[in-house]
Amino acid sequence: MSRAASMLVVAGLAVCAGACGGSGRASSALTAPPTLPPRAVPYLPSSFHTLTDAALAREAGAPTLRRRLRVWGFVSGSDRYFQGESRQLQVVDSRALRFRTASGASDFVSFVRRHASTYLGAYPGLRAFSSRGRTGILATAQPCTCHLANPAFLGVVARGATVTWLEINGPGATARRLRQLIAAAP
């Protein structure tokens, strides 16, 4: 192959790599990890957005969480939020968080375990939980004595460097329903 032909091949590969987002490793780290697809809860409208370390710290009311997420190797996160009126579920919050290491993902799950009341109110019930080889916690909000109050459940599990988060609420919310939906989450 001539030098000119070799340079054309190299240039073509560079253009292809640029169009495809570079190397698979670099682009996968920057791509938002997948959540439950809209078809998983077809009766509720949903929206999708990326999650940042700043947003996660703000939500937890823990400014130091942002620094911890960086130490734990937080890379990217995504959230698909379903909400609407239904006799089944009214809120489904599906998240995926990607870390550089399995240890970082495990550290985040431990943080949620220690701070579950931040997400579900005072004294949530906690127990070990697993789904499809992912391990973590299942938290249940304390029942409210309010008229028409709905139960809330939160499952947070990790496998490798990925955390899967699922929170559900509504008249049909049960631990069993959470198990079914989290099993469908990537």
Encode pLDDT of 60-80 as tens digits: 999 999 999 999 999 999 999
pTM for the structure as a whole:
0.81
Q: What is the share, in percent, of the chain residues with pLDDT greater than 90? A: 74
pLDDT of residue 16 exceeding 50, the answer is no
C-alpha dihedral, 154 to 78 to 37 to 162, nearest 10°: -70
| Amino acid type, 106 | S
Domain at 32-184, CATH class: alpha beta
pLDDT digits (tens, 9 = 90+) for 133-176: 999 999 999 877 676 678 899 999 999 999 999 999 999 999 99
Task: Report domain extents, the chain.
Answer: 1-30, 32-184
Q: Which two tokens stand for residue 13?
A: 């590969």
Q: Which two tokens stand for residue 58?
A: 């703000």
Mean pLDDT of the chain: 85
CA distance 129 to 47: 27
What pLDDT score does 94 carry? 98
Q: In angstroms, what CA-CA distances link 26 with 12, 15, 20, 80?
A: 20, 16, 11, 23
More confident residue, 122 or 5: 122
Query: Contact, 80 vs 47, CB < 8 A?
Result: yes
What pLDDT score does 147 carry? 62
